[in-house]
A and B are shown apart, each in its own frame.
Chain A
């Protein structure tokens, strides 16, 4: 049976991270971008847990708990902004949200 090594965790984490980054850069829907950010955060979490186990240091896992809490708070605030925005502009397409340019 294949031994799951830290390398695997790193690869999974890297794959998730790339999927998340690509999602952030190419998708137009703000909600999906949001979800992609969650993917990035979780890729980091996997990395932290894997290395925590490897190094026998609980600090990594503690850190993950904080990340999850911050992610939850961030999701709540972000969704609130999106709803408020939608109410004004009737859209969540990120191409149309460019009022901050010159």
Chain B
């Protein structure tokens, strides 16, 4: 446990080696194996740390590596304190769970990437693994950081890696645009997060999570009667940060576009880990949020609306990865719904199960795309289960899990969320409304997931034809660049992680079996008991609230949600397998809503018309001001100088030069009188000489 600081550092070292040396010198396999080895090592250390944490009575361990901001005297409400920030890492139940998710799924995805990325050029492979390892470094820093600043380092770092990896195929304009979009939208969220952190500093004089929670637990709960106080403001700002990172309304628009990146990236960053950072951060500050019930209500509303809106958009998407992207947004909405109703344990539980089945679904879609020669449109797939049985089976398991069919993992976590939402008494929203929306979303989820499965793996094959011929049935080592021999199962590097994740998606739910099943399964709500210490302030070991209703009612709710999910699955089966034409007829009869959904509620267009155009317009205005006023002033100075120099020039030319020339001219004019003497005739000179001699002699003789 002392060496948890090594866990983020190992992938960091891997990234440094791959980035500094690998891009130039490493072969494809070496780069991948190095990165995977680092992740495997980190996974091993995480497992060890987790095991040690289970044996630890405190369930809390903090390791300080170095001092970041040395102690500064600080005025606080109760006297002079001191403020300091350390590079310190915390291991507690919540971060341990995240640690296992990030290293475990990260390790599997690294393995998968070795197979997925092998058609890229050599340097590109090392670059990819460098980014991937760097991402894990930052993500683990985010998860383990024991104060807001260390978390913020990871928070920004994963945003950077997300940008780098979305734009991995940077020659493709859409990919680099998507990367920029993700980065900029995340910046908007980060603005909220930073303001929240400032406000935490301002209010509590410390940034350490534990100290903040401890301080906040002594403050009054800001109910509607108490009013909107400083904790509510902090939580609202932090939640803005979370909406950016975790793709919630209104900042969810970047996540579907982020699917331009390689599929393992979508699985790791945009499904399993990074996008859950917002949920993690809210859970981490559970004490703060429970003191701001009004903001919790906002979180729940935003969460459930995001879940619903994203699910409806997911109904009509035809790109296999986009369906999964909207599904991710929707499931993240569920998690926020859970945090919003105070069920932080359920949120974290769903975060974990979602990491399994969504990573599985993304990797499965990557396997399909790989086998279909980079085809992503589900309308050009179909009947693939006979070509790629492993992928089909594992993806089906993932779909069953996300749809919420027992005993797969999604059932337990989603049902826990719905159950807790059912019991929740809102501040502004009438009871059961959130639950109703959640149930509708659950049905939509089951429908669009099985629509995806049916369109991809069942029915008739609708994709492009391929050469069955014997012309070059010699061995093609790796399909691309050579002739494509039709859909095929992916290599072992890719299927093994799929199988492991499928097992996880099947079994992960058993750590959180509802209490209602106590009679048949004695280990109920294990994960919630385990995580509970992370959600309350130190020392305030309040008894866990009991959330009970009658056993029959709880079982009834479960049966209801299973029935809802089965209904969605049946509807998808009927429309896409039994009678494929039914879906089209349905789309035609509901042309208006269908068009709105296909265009994603025109949100991108709306943002483009308001925010993007507004920004561009004001930038243009400022540019004009710059050009006209600032440049004008500079140019005016220039012109003034030129004019002054012209005056000086005239003075010089006509006054100073004029005086000089006048002198010369006067001399010249005067010389005319004398130059007549210079006739050039010797006789004249001789005559003058004679006259001179005569005069001299005369003067000599007479005057003397």
Q: Which residues of A approach B to under 8 Å, CB–CB?
A: 21, 24-26, 33, 94-95, 97-102
Q: A26, A95, A101 — which one has the most chain B CB atoms within 10 A of its CB?
A: A101
Contact indicator A98/B686 (Cβ below 8 Å):
no
Task: State the CA gap A62–B690 with chains docked (Å).
Answer: 28
Contact indicator B681/A94 (Cβ below 8 Å):
yes
Contact indicator A102/B683 (Cβ below 8 Å):
no
Contact indicator A101/B680 (Cβ below 8 Å):
yes
A-B CB contact pairs (8 Å), 28 listed: A21-B690, A24-B683, A24-B686, A25-B683, A25-B686, A25-B687, A25-B690, A26-B683, A33-B683, A94-B681, A94-B682, A94-B683, A95-B681, A97-B680, A97-B681, A97-B682, A98-B679, A98-B680, A98-B681, A99-B680, A100-B680, A101-B678, A101-B679, A101-B680, A101-B681, A102-B675, A102-B678, A102-B680
The digit string for B644-677, where 1 denotes a CB below 8 A from any CB of A, is 0000000000000000000000000000000100
**Inter-chain contacts of A24 with B (CB < 8 A):** 683, 686
Nearest-neighbour CB distance to chain A for B678, whole angstroms, equals 4
Task: State the CA gap A101–B675 with chains docked (Å).
Answer: 9
The digit string for B684-698, where 1 denotes a CB below 8 A from any CB of A, is 001100100000000
Task: State the CA gap A98–B679 with chains docked (Å).
Answer: 7
The count of A-to-B residue pairs whose CB atoms sit within 8 angstroms is 28
**Inter-chain contacts of B686 with A (CB < 8 A):** 24-25
**Inter-chain contacts of B678 with A (CB < 8 A):** 101-102
Task: State the CA gap A94–B686 with chains docked (Å).
Answer: 13
Residue of B nearest to A99 (CB): B680
Q: B675, B678, B682 — which one has the most chain A CB atoms within 10 A of its CB?
A: B682
**Inter-chain contacts of A101 with B (CB < 8 A):** 678-681
Nearest-neighbour CB distance to chain B for A40, whole angstroms, equals 11
Residue of A nearest to B671 (CB): A102
Q: Which residues of B approach A to under 8 Å, CB–CB?
A: 675, 678-683, 686-687, 690
Task: State the CA gap A21–B694 with chains docked (Å).
Answer: 12
Task: State the CA gap A92–B690 with chains docked (Å).
Answer: 23
Nearest-neighbour CB distance to chain B for A23, whole angstroms, equals 11
Q: Sorted from nearest, which 9 A-B pairs have the closest CB atoms?
A: A101-B680, A98-B680, A102-B675, A102-B678, A101-B678, A100-B680, A98-B681, A25-B687, A25-B683
Nearest-neighbour CB distance to chain B for A88, whole angstroms, equals 16
**Inter-chain contacts of B683 with A (CB < 8 A):** 24-26, 33, 94
Nearest-neighbour CB distance to chain A for B312, whole angstroms, equals 109
Task: State the CA gap A95–B680 with chains docked (Å).
Answer: 9
**Inter-chain contacts of B679 with A (CB < 8 A):** 98, 101
Task: State the CA gap A98–B680 with chains docked (Å).
Answer: 4
Residue of B nearest to A28 (CB): B683
Nearest-neighbour CB distance to chain A for B670, whole angstroms, equals 14
**Inter-chain contacts of B690 with A (CB < 8 A):** 21, 25
**Inter-chain contacts of B682 with A (CB < 8 A):** 94, 97
**Inter-chain contacts of A98 with B (CB < 8 A):** 679-681
Nearest-neighbour CB distance to chain B for A35, whole angstroms, equals 15
**Inter-chain contacts of A94 with B (CB < 8 A):** 681-683
Q: A95, A97, A102 — which one has the most chain B CB atoms within 10 A of its CB?
A: A102
Nearest-neighbour CB distance to chain B for A20, whole angstroms, equals 11
**Inter-chain contacts of A33 with B (CB < 8 A):** 683
Task: State the CA gap A98–B678 with chains docked (Å).
Answer: 10
Nearest-neighbour CB distance to chain B for A7, whole angstroms, equals 18
Residue of A nearest to B683 (CB): A25
Nearest-neighbour CB distance to chain A for B249, whole angstroms, equals 102
Nearest-neighbour CB distance to chain A for B22, whole angstroms, equals 91
Residue of B nearest to A101 (CB): B680
Nearest-neighbour CB distance to chain A for B701, whole angstroms, equals 15
Q: B675, B678, B680, B690 — which one has the most chain A CB atoms within 10 A of its CB?
A: B680
Task: State the CA gap A83–B683 with chains docked (Å).
Answer: 20
Q: B679, B683, B687 — which one has the most chain A CB atoms within 10 A of its CB?
A: B683
Nearest-neighbour CB distance to chain B for A94, whole angstroms, equals 6
Residue of B nearest to A100 (CB): B680
Task: State the CA gap A101–B679 with chains docked (Å).
Answer: 5
Task: State the CA gap A97–B679 with chains docked (Å).
Answer: 10
Nearest-neighbour CB distance to chain A for B258, whole angstroms, equals 96
Nearest-neighbour CB distance to chain B for A77, whole angstroms, equals 16
Task: State the CA gap A9–B593 with chains docked (Å).
Answer: 151
**Inter-chain contacts of B687 with A (CB < 8 A):** 25
Nearest-neighbour CB distance to chain A for B662, whole angstroms, equals 22
Task: State the CA gap A87–B329 with chains docked (Å).
Answer: 114
Task: State the CA gap A99–B678 with chains docked (Å).
Answer: 11
Task: State the CA gap A32–B680 with chains docked (Å).
Answer: 19
**Inter-chain contacts of A26 with B (CB < 8 A):** 683
Nearest-neighbour CB distance to chain A for B667, whole angstroms, equals 14
Task: State the CA gap A95–B686 with chains docked (Å).
Answer: 14
**Inter-chain contacts of B675 with A (CB < 8 A):** 102
Task: State the CA gap A25–B683 with chains docked (Å).
Answer: 5
Residue of A nearest to B693 (CB): A21
Task: State the CA gap A24–B681 with chains docked (Å).
Answer: 12
**Inter-chain contacts of A25 with B (CB < 8 A):** 683, 686-687, 690
Residue of B nearest to A21 (CB): B690
